[in-house]
Structure 1
Amino acid sequence: SKSIEWSIYFCVLNYMFNHSRKIRPAFYGDPSSLRRRFFLCGVAHAIFMPFLLFFVSLHFFMSNIYDWRSTKEYLGPREWSAIAKWKFRELNELNHLFERRMEPSYKSASAYLEMFSKPSPLAVAVGRILVFVSGSLGTLLLVFAAINDAILLHVKVGNWNLLWYAGVLGASFSIGKALLPKSNNPYYCRSRRNMMNDMSVELEKVASHTHFLPDSWRGKGWDDKTKKEFSAMFQY
């Protein structure tokens, strides 16, 4: 995490080099000082952890509420881990150039991992039923509202008026849409595809941005081991 990364910088790197960019003799000659700095960082983390947890949770919710609504990514968008960025970054590459090079890689990396997520046929069937039924009944209620909006308020079916049913149908429609696969899902496209080859091609497309493609990944984008190693670098 960023807090651990900051702690390492503060405890180790800030005290390792002098103004001449040489290792200070006191750094490796006084291990008790390093131990003391780690202890102070641990105490600071313990004290501020409740406040940091609240702030991070609030920031995560406010930053990703639109993505939850539009893309149904309930765990938030994936990001390259700090270790992955260290591997991808080239020697003496400036930060803004690195970020510009990495920007297109997020879309390609997400597309690669989506190729492994085959939707459940049962979930797709349930989603289509919910969308069809709730959409049809919702359209009927919309027609009633266009004729006379008082119908939704005063006409009751059971113990609830039609406006309550309109809300239930809207929620059912949203749930059904969430269960349906995306339009670009490779498992539900009309043309037949060679998924194993497409996975390797998509992985190479990611590598064209990251400049990182180990020999064990070449031509094995379909392999579960490759997918696990890739997912460890591209995390929620």
Structure 2
Amino acid sequence: FFSHRQFIFVVAFTTFLISCVDYDILFANKALNHSQHPSEPIKVTLPDAFLPPNVCSARIQANSFLICILVIAGVFWIHRLVKFIYNICCYWEIHSFYINALKIPMSTLPYYTWQEVQARIVQIQKEHQICIHKKELTELDIYHRILRFKNYMVAMVNKSLLPIRFRLPLLGDTVFYTRGLKYNFELIFFWGPGSLFENEWSLKAEYKRAGNRLELAEKLSTRILWIGIANFLLCPLILIWQILYAFFSYTEILKREPGSLGARCWSLYGRCYLRHFNELDHELHSRLSKGYKPASKYMNCFISPLLTIVAKNVAFFAGSILAVLIALTIYDEDVLAVEHVLTTVTLLGVGITVCRSFIPDQHLVFCPEQLLRVILAHIHYMPDHWQGNAHRYETRDEFAQLFQYKAVFILEELLSPIITPLILIICLRPKSLDIVDFFRNFTVEVVGVGDTCSFAQMDVRQHGHPAWMSAGKTEASIYQQAEDGKTELSLMHFAITNPKWQPPRESTAFIGFLKERVHRDSSVALAQQAVLPENALFSSIQSLQSESE
């Protein structure tokens, strides 16, 4: 609801700024015409710069480009309104389900845990058979229904199927994954016209057969091409919207907290790369939030001494000038009336704050290896070559792809309307056959759930990796293996967060083996009064267990 009001405000306010403001009066380039007391100095007020309604309306009508933009914005707003009404209807059904079926009133819902809600759903299925295709629902069935498409996206990122990693001249290895690009991927694969799924739970029958894979790949390639062309045509409008929305959203924050753009956040790619199979949004958010502070400390370890010296000197010179201007203002406030003084004071304040972000804490201790182990305990995934190399800039640059500057995030979103069509047409189209094969080979039909990604079954026998203690327990080929221990860690995460879930026999044996090894290693370390083992699996499992307690 509020996003619709924001959209109307941005469009209306931008139109007002373009057509209804006399900037010559606002900037004092033109004198006001007052019939009374013409010889007296006149103080310009803000309403004096506003044009009369008839003049404003005439200027809007004379601007054909602006009218075209307003018409397109109106059509887009109507589309969003229809979608909003549809979502309200869906939310009302959920509201009724919680009240009538689960017997959870809305007043107490915020105080229920997800495990309590899930337990009620499982119990209701046993009593009232809300899913007619099977007698009982398991916790995994519920997760599959909620995360069907997200599990596919996690799997495609894990198998490096999506074109989001690039090697560019001067920049080297780069990741580009924005909300606009993600939206287009989901539009192509899951819910757009001509997508691979015929509804929310079933892959189209032709994509399950290998006989016409080349024809389907050509069809998908053509569809990607047309969507890429549509992105090109809409690029100017989307770019204008991105710029306006970013300006209205971040200008006030930048004025109030100039160093906020120097803060970091988990990138969209990082959230997808670090996400377990069958991990809900609030579970992922909780896990990454716990790793935020150590991740920030780790990135702050890599401060250039030369950059620190430059920042200290620039801050000194800017601070000296700012101190003089503030002193003059205190002595006589008319100093602020001098042209550009207020602007100079603001820019100097922003510059000093930015410089301070490059000056490290004098009490900071450089211990990247320990910090990286603490980070690993929360994010659970780390390339093998990071171990022992936490102090290197190469490791830092790779981690920065997961934990990027807020300013970089904003810049990527602004560039997204320009770059997204290129990625779709040049990079995604050649992968059409691989995408068709992926959905055919890694889609399984689950009774009562529908078609799901086979990786989300977390079957170590089908998708386990020998390097992650699945040796002798996996039949997966290199093509079938999930990378970076995704299957094993997802299985452990799901089993610990859902202790009542009964995994398959192979998974139960694997989980028991891991727990036994962890307990044995920790017992030996404690008996010898030694430090607990410092390996990825041990840290990850310990973190998972602490989260479930």
* TM-score (norm. length: structure 1): 0.72
Change over 3 Å in CA distance of 1:141–1:60 after alignment to 2: closer
Q: Partners of 2:394 and 2:358 in 1: how far apart?
A: 27
Aligned residue among 205, 220, 225 for 1:34: 220
Change over 3 Å in CA distance of 1:21–1:131 after alignment to 2: same
1:113-164 deviations in whole A, cap 9, x for unaligned?
232233331331232233134314522430x23xxx5xx3xxxxxxxx6742
Q: Which letter maps to 1:36?
A: T
**1:123 alignment counterpart:** 311
1:136-195 deviations in whole A, cap 9, x for unaligned?
4522430x23xxx5xx3xxxxxxxx67428537624641552354249823xx1x4x542
After TM superposition, give the deviation of residue 87 of structure 1 in Å. 2.4
1:33-64 deviations in whole A, cap 9, x for unaligned?
21332122112211211111111122222332
Residue 24 (1) aligns with residue 198 (2): no
Q: Partners of 2:290 and 2:370 in 1: how far apart?
A: 16
After TM superposition, give the deviation of residue 21 of structure 1 in Å. 4.5
**1:203 alignment counterpart:** 372
- What is the count of residue pairs matched by the alignment? 215
Q: Partners of 1:63 and 1:107 in 2: how far apart?
A: 25
Moved more, 13-22 or 91-100: 13-22
Aligned residue among 177, 181, 193 for 1:4: 181
Does structure 1 retain, via aligned residues, the 8 Å contact 2:258–2:350?
A: no
Q: Partners of 1:4 and 1:130 in 2: how far apart?
A: 41
Does structure 2 retain, via aligned residues, the 8 Å contact 1:217–1:226?
A: yes
Q: Which letter maps to 2:338?
A: W
**2:385 alignment counterpart:** 216
Aligned residue among 226, 229, 240 for 1:43: 229
Q: Which letter maps to 1:214?
A: P
After TM superposition, give the deviation of residue 73 of structure 1 in Å. 5.0
Residue 59 (1) aligns with residue 255 (2): no
Does structure 1 retain, via aligned residues, the 8 Å contact 2:269–2:402?
A: yes
Change over 3 Å in CA distance of 1:4–1:71 after alignment to 2: same
Aligned residue among 338, 347, 357 for 1:164: 338
Q: Partners of 2:236 and 2:266 in 1: how far apart?
A: 26
Q: Which letter maps to 2:259?
A: K
1:5-50 deviations in whole A, cap 9, x for unaligned?
2333332345445677566325762323213321221122112111
After TM superposition, give the deviation of residue 92 of structure 1 in Å. 1.2
Q: CA RMSD in A?
A: 3.3
Structure 1 segment 99-178 matched on structure 2, within 5 A: 99-118=285-304, 119-142=307-330, 144-145=331-332, 152=334, 163-164=337-338, 167=342, 170-171=345-346, 173-174=348-349, 177-178=352-353
Q: Partners of 2:179 and 2:343 in 1: how far apart?
A: 42
Moved more, 222-231 or 64-73: 64-73
Q: Tell me, which stretches of 5 or more residues in structure 1 are unaligned?
A: 153-160
Q: Partners of 1:71 and 1:162 in 2: how far apart?
A: 22
1:174-227 deviations in whole A, cap 9, x for unaligned?
1552354249823xx1x4x542x2x23333333233222333223422111101
Change over 3 Å in CA distance of 1:112–1:71 after alignment to 2: farther
Q: Partners of 2:285 and 2:385 in 1: how far apart?
A: 26
Q: Partners of 2:205 and 2:196 in 1: how far apart?
A: 6
Q: Partners of 1:56 and 1:228 in 2: how far apart?
A: 27
Instruction: Considering Cα pairs closer than 8 Å and 6+ residues apart, tell me whether 1 or 2 has the greater RCO.
Output: 1
Q: Partners of 1:135 and 1:124 in 2: how far apart?
A: 16
Identity of aligned residues (%): 20
Change over 3 Å in CA distance of 1:11–1:221 after alignment to 2: same
What's the secondary structure of 1:205's corresponding residue? helix
Q: Partners of 2:183 and 2:343 in 1: how far apart?
A: 48
Change over 3 Å in CA distance of 1:176–1:50 after alignment to 2: closer
Change over 3 Å in CA distance of 1:65–1:115 after alignment to 2: farther
Change over 3 Å in CA distance of 1:17–1:117 after alignment to 2: same
